[in-house]
Structure 1
Amino acid sequence: MVRDCGRHGEDHSKTLKWVGIVVGILIFLSIVVFIIVRFLVWCKNPIFILQDISVYAFNVSLNPNLLTSTFQVTVSSHNPNDNAGIYYDKLDIYAAYQSQRITLGSSIPPTYQGDNKDDIWSPFIYGTSVPVAPFLALALCQDQSVGSVLLTIKIDGRMRWKVGSVITGPYHLHADCLATITFGSGNTGIVVGDAVKYLLIQRCDVNV
């Protein structure tokens, strides 16, 4: 009795074909992962500098513990890479005091930054009658009486790298920019209209 092995040969051929496809996909994914890892190692993080901050209002009250503030901040961003562009898909800027957020966020329009290019933004950030913890309100009052309040201008958002025609997936960007606001006889600000402007030129701590 002779068995027909024709179908067995077809099944074996199909199996080899699918194995080849799977192997090809795995190789392609490995190459993509390798490229992305190389991007992360090779690309330098953008540099953010807090140029200045203009204070229009900064009033804290006790019982109830509320803070009202209005600032205009000038932030510059520099792309230090020679052959990599940066897409800023979303950036939000806000102020914090001792890790507590004290203003609403201001959004920066999406933008593309070419290699070795700079961008400057000057958004307004504000908070009206923002509830703060009692110990923070007391600390703010004490800092004001001493003559110096340390704020953190925070930047949160998403960005992508562009190298040639390859664009990576989105990455989270976080930057902390320290800003010292002075009061009383030690005030270092300059009166500009209804605001007091503090020239800072403070480099921010950036993590991607």
Structure 2
Amino acid sequence: MLDALNITEEEALGLAEIAQHDLALARDFARRAQAAADSEEANQLARSYQRAARSYRQTLALKARLRRDLAIAAQAVAATPRAKPSGAAVERRVGELREALLRMAWNEAERPEDERAETGDVEPDVEMFALRRHDVEFVIAEACLKNDFCEEPLDDHIARLAVDMDFAPSAIGRWRDMPDPPASAFEVESMADQWLSSA
């Protein structure tokens, strides 16, 4: 709708130029008509002045109508409800969010080697990863319910959810460089999973 009404910058400049020429002609014809000694010549110049003045008014009216029509069209577009994302788009976004958040959760569970050596835990904390996994699914399920799901850029969406989950800020921007959790990391159930399966 807006595209049908819109004009290029060159066309807008052309309209402004036409209006300038019409105004210049109208002024010239008016000046010459007032200075004419012969009444026939004065009448012809006055008619030319009226045509140039009418053309000028029409150009100004056209510009005003275009501006008004564009404003009305923009309001109509703004008032139109946004289409819900397709199932495929939602499924893709859910997968991308899950991949990023699980990578951050696994990165957190692995911890640096020197940190693990201090505590005597040489293996990644798979129980903590199981809890984080449960949180990831909950956060994504909650995000899916919002009307604007899929609208913001992927990295912004991931960062917002990661901040909500209290992932380390230094990890959020590096999720693409992090490895996927190994299949064995998914074998441990969280307390929430155990509770749900026994309910």
Q: Same fold (TM over 0.5)?
A: no
Which of the pair is proportionally richer in helix?
2
Which of the pair is proportionally richer in strand?
1
Higher Rg: 2
TM-score by length of structure 2 reads: 0.34
TM-score by length of structure 1 reads: 0.33
